[in-house]
Amino acid sequence: MPTLLTLLLACHPPAPDSKPVHRDSPADDSPVDTGDSAVSPPEGLLVLHGGTVVDVDGVRVADVWVDGATIWAVTTDPPPSGSEVIDVRGGFLTPGLVDAHVHLAHSGATVWTGDPLEQNLRADLYHGVLEVYDLGGPEMLFAVRDAVEAGELLGPHILATGPFLTAVGSHPCESAPNADLCTFVAVDADPGEQIEAASTAAAARRAAGADAVKVALADADFTAWPTTRLDLQALAEITAGGPTIAHVDENADVIDAIGAGVSVLAHPVFAGPMSDVALGMVGGVPVESTVGAFAAVGEVLDGATDLSDDGLILGPGVLDNWIYVRANPEVLAEGWADASADWALDARDNLPSLRDAGAIVIPGSDAGYYFVPHGTGLQRELAGLVDAGWTPLEALAAATATASDALGFPGGRIAAGQPADLLVLGSDPSIDVAALDDIDRIVLGGVVHPRVELRTLPLVTSSVSGFCLTSADCAADEACDGLAHVCGSACPSPGAAANTCGGSAYCLPIDALSSPEGVCHPAPGLTASGDCDLYMQDCRPSAYQQACVPFDGDTNGCWTSGPRAVGQTCSWDDADLACGVGLYCSLLDSRCYALCDPAAADTCPGARRCVEQESAPGVPWFGVCI
């Protein structure tokens, strides 16, 4: 994914005080919850009449009375006069589903194809996913979460960690320093400095609004070059500050993570079978299943994923990307598809062992990871749990009450006092888990939405905070920044040498690609380490193959470098055609030129001279050897 995705705004209000910590929540043995019989029901109730309620507490025929955004009662009493009654006889009512592991800012494509957030939110709602935990994405998602809770945005309830805390070269930034995914902890520092840096970084993440901190305790054996594994004392310092979720690969990762006090494991072990020592430590620890994420690449390549499925709601360009990869599998990293298939088998085989050992297995799709769709991904994960030995009712419980209790979401049951976030299904999910995708309508915050309308229903309901999904949500002279999802000043000619944004910002295409529509984007945070020096070439670490290049007349930034040499044709869009470090791909003739400092003497080899480029008439910018 291009480093330009690091351009993200990070100033957002604090998160609600909701933390991923398991709570014991015994089921109510009574078949029907009649609410508070001593209190008269309020006027204007919404009554879902005659359906079969299915949740962790069992299967029963009852009416669900809804008062605003809350369930008032689950009862067989006749509806109060003046209620709005919706006949759901023959239907089945369940709590909204929880996807314990998503990446809302990511599309599942192998390259950046444009902002997928709107489609991802629609996909979740369409497939009954009414609560999601974003485990690795830009801090912009804190604002998305807050917009949902403020009623400005229609979408699933969100908890979010923001970017990983990780070591250079480790997951998920093995090949590029994307600030929307990673904050690096004390690279090349001694343990004491790393502990202090980890504590500071985790505290900053929580202060910015994170519901938990996610760390990567893995990947030293999964990269092409040696990596620094997060120091265990540093991990303990992070967990001491609050809820912490860990990406793990191997048994050693599980042992170390739980030993350091990690709250949730973001994956089962997927590098071989689980050891007795690791299994002996997982009792009471939530573990997210994510088997479908490892299987997804093979399913796209071998045709098991139906790319014509009407249920796939994908971000721009994603379907074309998947079709291309299916036809040209050689574009994938060598051996990755085969390794993913092995990981899927190991993860699936480890799930029953985890459950037998007392782990709290909860379904997470890893939606947004390569080839994993939002919404549909969780439905596939639930089918995977049933294949691994769960009954359909156990799979439903795992994706509702169990996940809600483990992660800190409200709800998860259909009972008095619970949130009115429900699914109305056409078939019985206690018999067939596929019924969870046989959705007639959803009830979100007490408002009924027919499923068919979720494809086109406007999601932004107000823009008090300036939040936006598209430029249609902004004022006439504004555009929607597709990376930060806030309205900003519109500007012409994105990427031009001269623009109307001033020295502290530059004109970014709204989708960070080639859109003719632009929005002024602030320069701070342009790269993982801020603006870079064209002549010092200070993009680091070198393993990330980054070059400092001029973006426009105001701004330099780190961009993917490649194999092309001076004089060769080049491209900004294809990494295989990118210029090498210290070179510039000219927008005039698409050839690589050596960068040079016009203020220095003899900076060009041979008979070439350093020719200064201008961002506007009379305004110096940078030099190239010609």
Query: Which domain, by its residues, includes 168?
Result: 97-359+370-455
pLDDT band for position 16 (50/70/90)? very low
3-state secondary structure 430-459: CCCHHHHHCEEEEEECCEEEEHHHHHCCCC
Residue 255 pLDDT grade (very low, low, confident, very high; cuts 50, 70, 90): very high
- Count the domains in the chain: 3
Over 70: is that where the pLDDT of 1 sits? no
Give the model's confidence band at 525: pLDDT under 50 very low, under 70 low, under 90 confident, else very high: very low
Residues 113, 217 within the same domain: yes
For the segment 570-592, the average pLDDT, to the nearest whole number, is 84
Q: Which residue has the higher pLDDT, 443 or 580?
A: 443
What is the rounded average pLDDT of the residues 198-208?
A: 93
Asked if 446 and 488 sit in the same domain, the reply is no
Neighbouring CB atoms inside 10 A of 580's CB total 17
Check if the beta carbon of residue 471 is closer than 8 Å to that of residue 517. Answer: yes
- Predicted confidence (pLDDT) per residue in 294-344, tens digit: 999 999 999 999 999 999 999 999 999 999 999 999 988 888 899 899 999
Co-location of 183 and 119 in the same domain: yes
**422 and 314, same structural domain?**
yes
- Residue 19's pLDDT is 37
Confidence of residue 61 (pLDDT cuts 50, 70, 90): very high
**CA neighbor of 561 nearest in space, from 166, 8, 177:** 177
Domain match, 473 and 428 both: no
Lowest mean pLDDT among 265-269, 357-361, 392-396, 612-616: 612-616
- Confirm whether 91 is domain-assigned: no
d(CA 299, CA 338): 12
Share of the chain above pLDDT 90, in %: 58
Query: For residue 380, is it left (φ>0), alpha (ψ between -120 and 50) or beta?
Result: alpha
DSSP reduced 3-state for 342 = helix
Listed range (197-201, 402-406, 545-549) with the worst mean pLDDT: 545-549
Question: Same domain for 252 and 384?
Answer: yes
Question: Is position 31 within any domain?
Answer: no
Spatial neighbors of 252 by CB under 8 A, at least 6 apart, are none
Parallel, antiparallel or unpaired: strands 478-480 and 439-444? unpaired
Would 5 be classed as within a structural domain? Answer: no
Is 90 exceeded by the pLDDT of residue 507? no
112 Cβ neighbours under 8 A, 6+ residues apart: 1, 2, 4, 5, 512, 513
User: What digits encode the pLDDT tens for the residues 403-456?
Assistant: 999 999 998 999 999 999 999 999 999 999 999 999 999 999 999 999 999 999
Tell me the three state secondary structure of residue 328.
coil
Read off the pLDDT of each residue in 102-123 and give the average, rounded to a whole number.
93
Cα dihedral 362/136/258/236 (nearest 10): -150
Give the pLDDT band (50/70/90) at residue 95. Answer: very high
What pLDDT, on a 0 to 100 scale, did the predictor assign at position 520?
85
Amino acid letter, residue 598:
P
Please give the Cα distance from 418 to 409 (Å, whole number).
11
Token pair for residue 461? Answer: 């309901």
CATH number at residue 350: 3.20.20.140
Claim to verify: residue 253 and residue 327 sit in the same structural domain = yes
Least confident of 41-55, 138-152, 312-326, 461-475: 461-475
Distances (CA, A) of 55 to 131, 394, 398, 422, 604: 16, 9, 10, 11, 72
Q: Which range, of 118-122, 392-396, 503-507, averages the lowest pLDDT?
A: 503-507
Measured over the CA atoms of residue 371, residue 115, residue 2 and residue 540, the dihedral's sign is negative
* DSSP assignments along 505-564, one per residue: EEEEETTSSS-S-EEEEESTTSSTTSS--TTTT----GGG-EEEEEEETTEEEEEE--SB
Least confident interval from 295-299, 389-393, 480-484: 480-484
In angstroms, rounded to a whole number, what is the distance separating the alpha carbons of residues 177 and 170? Answer: 10
Of 455, 478, 500, which one is at a domain's C-terminal end? 455
The pLDDT value given to residue 186: 61
Is the bond preceding 316 in cis, omega lying within 30 degrees of 0?
no
Rounded to an integer, the average pLDDT of 88-99 is 98
pLDDT at 267: 96
Do 487 and 428 lie in one domain? The reply is: no
pLDDT of residue 163: 92
Token duo for residue 88: 């759901």
385 part of a folded domain: yes
Which amino acid does the sequence have at 583? L
Residue type, 343: W
Phi, psi of 506 (to 5 degrees): -140, 165
Q: How many other C-beta atoms lie within 10 A of the C-beta of residue 225?
A: 11
Query: What is the pLDDT confidence band of residue 23, given thresholds at 50, 70 and 90?
Result: very low
Query: Mean per-residue pLDDT for 585-593?
Result: 84
Whether 584 contacts 597, CB under 8 Å: no
Lowest mean pLDDT among 3-17, 43-57, 253-267: 3-17
Contact between 146 and 137 (Cβ < 8 Å): no
Which of 58-67, 300-309, 589-598 bottoms out in mean pLDDT, i.e. has the lowest?
Answer: 589-598
Place of tokens 């004109």: 507
The mean pLDDT of 89-93, rounded to a whole number, is 97
pLDDT per position as a tens digit, 531-540: 677 877 776 5
pLDDT score of 209: 96
pLDDT at position 182: 82
Question: Residue 395: its pLDDT value, please?
Answer: 97
pLDDT at 49 over 80: yes
Helices (H), 223-375: 232-240, 251-259, 276-279, 291-301, 318-327, 336-356
Q: What does the mean pLDDT of the chain come to?
A: 85
Q: Is 70 part of a structural domain of the chain?
A: no
pLDDT tops 90 at residue 5: no
The predicted pLDDT at position 12 comes to: 26
Which stretch of DSSP H or E encloses residue 102? Answer: strand 97-102
269 and 333: one domain?
Answer: yes
pLDDT the model gives residue 17: 34
Decide: 451 and 122 in contact? Cβ < 8 Å.
no
pTM: 0.81
Query: Across the beta sheet with 264-265, what order do the strands follow?
Result: 182-184, 164-166, 213-216, 244-247, 264-265, 286-288, 360-362
Distances in Å between the Cα of 159 and the Cα atoms of 84, 272, 564 are 32, 31, 43
CA separation for the pair 369, 135 (Å, rounded): 11
Are residues 599 and 483 both part of a single domain?
no
Pick from 403, 467, 446: which is nearest to 133 by CA?
403
Least-confidence region, from 49-63, 104-118, 124-138:
104-118
Is the pLDDT at 220 greater than 90, yes or no?
no
- Asked whether residue 503 is assigned to any structural domain, the reply reads yes
Dist CA 583 CA 591 (whole Å)? 10
* Dihedral class, residue 478 (left if φ above 0, else alpha if ψ from -120 to 50, else beta): beta
What pLDDT was estimated at residue 149?
94
Let me know if residue 11 belongs to a domain: no
| HSE value, Cβ hemisphere, 13 Å, CA-based, for 345 | 7
In a shared domain, residues 405 and 489: no
* Residues 174 and 128 both lie in one domain: yes
